[in-house]
Chains A and B, each alone.
Chain A
């Protein structure tokens, strides 16, 4: 029955991102003045419409690559190919640039916690005191 257990684990691993989407949270540095953001704010910032926070501070979105697909699926219900195409068009017409890419979790959390103007996203379970959750999926109405 070992092969069955192995299959179940593999299946679970495969499904993880989808399952995890419900647990994604948008975070800023704990030092940031921003307490929370609306869904629109999150979309506008990540999709390149806004480059400032509602308070007026410049904001830089960061893509945490392992969760990227889950995040955009959760945010605007798009596949990564669509998102890439969107940014390709924007970059082509000279309008801004896509969010910075960050691969590792430590690197990402460092980037967020040390720069109050950076907006990122993490799995809810990996949130620690260095960052503040400003938007949580599932609370959207």
Chain B
């Protein structure tokens, strides 16, 4: 690591270093500025002082110079010059008489007297009369040297001051800031806040910022403790809720499940598993019957417009295990549905039983008028041909009147059985009322087949219906035939046509049949 990076690291990690560098830097810059100003002033002062000294020197030697000039004494003049040159700050001295002869000169020589100080020397006996002039050139290097000496002292003083300030800042920062903070940091590290432990205010910091920092930290620990307690309580509450929900989810009668739009199961409860008779609940598995229905659902747009879809599934084949379920599906999000499954088998069965009761003739056990109308309506909707055979027993009223209703009923039941024996698959028999029966045939609609059937019916009627007190009771039938889908497209119309045909058969002498299209 380079020294610079080390320094940067120290600056980043040590407040003391940063404070010291900053303070010393600022003081240093200010010091350098002040030093510069001071040196400038000093240099000027020193130059002025040296000027004054030169003037004083000249005043000192003025009298001797006066004498030397007055009596043209070059020797004395030279003595004066040498005497002046004995001063370090004097570089050159010249004494020039008023007639421009050089009385005496001395010094290092060099460049002319541009900076020279000069004074007119008057005659000792006549102040108005100038007799010579003395020139003195100050030794600038020597003066600079003096200034430099003084500057060196100032600089040394400044550096010492900087060192002192730096040391003070380090000591003060370490004592009042860094050490208390480091101590707090260490204690904070060791603190077990979850037990509610608190920091102690360092001695002597009770009323200052560090004391307030400790109080703030302690307040924060308090808040932390409160929120920890609160969170713990909420977590317990949540666990309780979860458990409550889980119990509900697992033990509810209804099946609850979540499924994605591809029909893959996401989750389901035990009731769901039971209802769908699944081996296990696996995430992603396809559920028979349910999954294909789910894939067929359109995602509602917007999502919240159609929150619920109702389905009914017939889960297993008719019989003892037959099961119906109702499913209510709600969209959780675009590719997720939640559903509730109810077993509606019992309800379904009850409905079926009610339906059967409503459409069954209680006497014969076959269909009644309502049952027939439903069958007829379904048949006319399907569009396929059906033969409608309207059957009326001949002289039934006489049997009723002769032997009583009970016997009449017996006869009706026997006749109904005979009619039923003629039926093929998909054919329907109903008693419309009284002695009027109707047969709705899909197994045969062509005249040949119908003729053959009706021939066998007439044959069957040759056997007595009842035998009462050794009396054979015979009953003939008159049959009117119309074909739905051929003679008429509408069920009720076809029935009317069959009725007409039936009356035609009766008119023709009973115990016979007539096709509508023959009438």
Chain B residues positioned under 8 Å from A75 (CB to CB): 125
Contact (A90, B125) CB under 8 Å given A49-B72, A95-B76: no
Chain A residues positioned under 8 Å from B72 (CB to CB): 49
CB distance from B97 to the nearest CB of A (A): 12
Docked-complex contact B73 and A93, CB < 8 angstroms: yes
**Smallest CB gap from B131: residue in A:** A49
Among residues 97 to 125 in chain B, which have CB atoms less than 8 Å away from a CB atom of chain A?
Answer: 123-125
- Cα A76 to Cα B66 in complex, Å, equals 15
Contact (A76, B126) CB under 8 Å given A93-B76, A95-B76: yes
Q: Cβ of A130 < 8 Å from any Cβ of B?
A: no
Chain A residues positioned under 8 Å from B124 (CB to CB): 47, 86
Q: Could you give, for residues 66-86 of chain A, a 1 whenever the CB lies within 8 Å of some chain B CB and a 0 otherwise?
A: 000000000110100000001
Q: Cβ of B247 < 8 Å from any Cβ of A?
A: no
Docked-complex contact B125 and A89, CB < 8 angstroms: no
Docked-complex contact A43 and B73, CB < 8 angstroms: no
CB distance from B132 to the nearest CB of A (A): 12
Chain A residues positioned under 8 Å from B67 (CB to CB): 86, 89-90, 93
Docked-complex contact A43 and B125, CB < 8 angstroms: yes
CB contacts between A and B, total, < 8 Å = 27
Interface of B is mostly: mixed
- Cα A99 to Cα B283 in complex, Å, equals 147
Contact (A48, B125) CB under 8 Å given A93-B76, A95-B76: no
Q: Cβ of B71 < 8 Å from any Cβ of A?
A: yes
Q: Cβ of B70 < 8 Å from any Cβ of A?
A: yes
Among residues 80 to 105 in chain A, which have CB atoms less than 8 Å away from a CB atom of chain B?
Answer: 86, 89-90, 93, 95-96
Which 6 A-B residue pairings sit nearest by Cβ, starting from the closest? A76-B125, A95-B73, A49-B71, A49-B70, A95-B71, A43-B125
- Cα A55 to Cα B501 in complex, Å, equals 200
CB distance from B131 to the nearest CB of A (A): 9
CB distance from B83 to the nearest CB of A (A): 13
Docked-complex contact B126 and A90, CB < 8 angstroms: no
* 19 CB-based A-B contacts, threshold 8 Å: A43-B123, A43-B126, A47-B70, A47-B124, A48-B71, A49-B71, A75-B125, A76-B125, A76-B126, A86-B67, A86-B124, A89-B67, A93-B67, A93-B73, A93-B75, A93-B76, A95-B71, A95-B73, A95-B76
- Cα A95 to Cα B67 in complex, Å, equals 10
The number of chain B residues touching the other chain, given as a range, is 10 to 19
Docked-complex contact B126 and A96, CB < 8 angstroms: no
CB distance from B129 to the nearest CB of A (A): 8
Chain B residues positioned under 8 Å from A90 (CB to CB): 67, 71
- Cα A78 to Cα B124 in complex, Å, equals 10
Partner of B125 from the list A47, A93, A95 (CB cut-off 8 Å) is: A47
Chain B residues positioned under 8 Å from A78 (CB to CB): 125
**Smallest CB gap from B72: residue in A:** A49
- Cα A93 to Cα B78 in complex, Å, equals 13
Chain B residues positioned under 8 Å from A96 (CB to CB): 71
Further pairs besides A90-B67, A93-B67, A93-B73: 8, Cβ < 8 Å: A47-B70, A48-B71, A49-B71, A78-B125, A86-B67, A86-B124, A89-B67, A90-B71
CB distance from B429 to the nearest CB of A (A): 180
**Smallest CB gap from B63: residue in A:** A89
- Cα A9 to Cα B379 in complex, Å, equals 193
Chain A residues positioned under 8 Å from B71 (CB to CB): 48-49, 90, 95-96
Among residues 51 to 77 in chain B, which have CB atoms less than 8 Å away from a CB atom of chain A?
Answer: 67, 70-73, 75-76
Among residues 21 to 60 in chain A, which have CB atoms less than 8 Å away from a CB atom of chain B?
Answer: 43, 47-49
Among residues 119 to 164 in chain B, which have CB atoms less than 8 Å away from a CB atom of chain A?
Answer: 123-126
CB distance from A22 to the nearest CB of B (A): 19
**Smallest CB gap from A47: residue in B:** B125
Chain A residues positioned under 8 Å from B126 (CB to CB): 43, 76
**Smallest CB gap from A89: residue in B:** B67
- Cα A47 to Cα B126 in complex, Å, equals 12
Chain B residues positioned under 8 Å from A76 (CB to CB): 125-126
**Smallest CB gap from A94: residue in B:** B75
CB distance from B126 to the nearest CB of A (A): 7
Chain B residues positioned under 8 Å from A49 (CB to CB): 70-72
**Smallest CB gap from A96: residue in B:** B71
CB distance from B82 to the nearest CB of A (A): 14
**Smallest CB gap from A39: residue in B:** B126
- Cα A43 to Cα B124 in complex, Å, equals 10
- Cα A132 to Cα B285 in complex, Å, equals 163
- Cα A96 to Cα B125 in complex, Å, equals 18
CB distance from B280 to the nearest CB of A (A): 140
- Cα A90 to Cα B75 in complex, Å, equals 12
- Cα A78 to Cα B127 in complex, Å, equals 13
Chain A residues positioned under 8 Å from B123 (CB to CB): 43
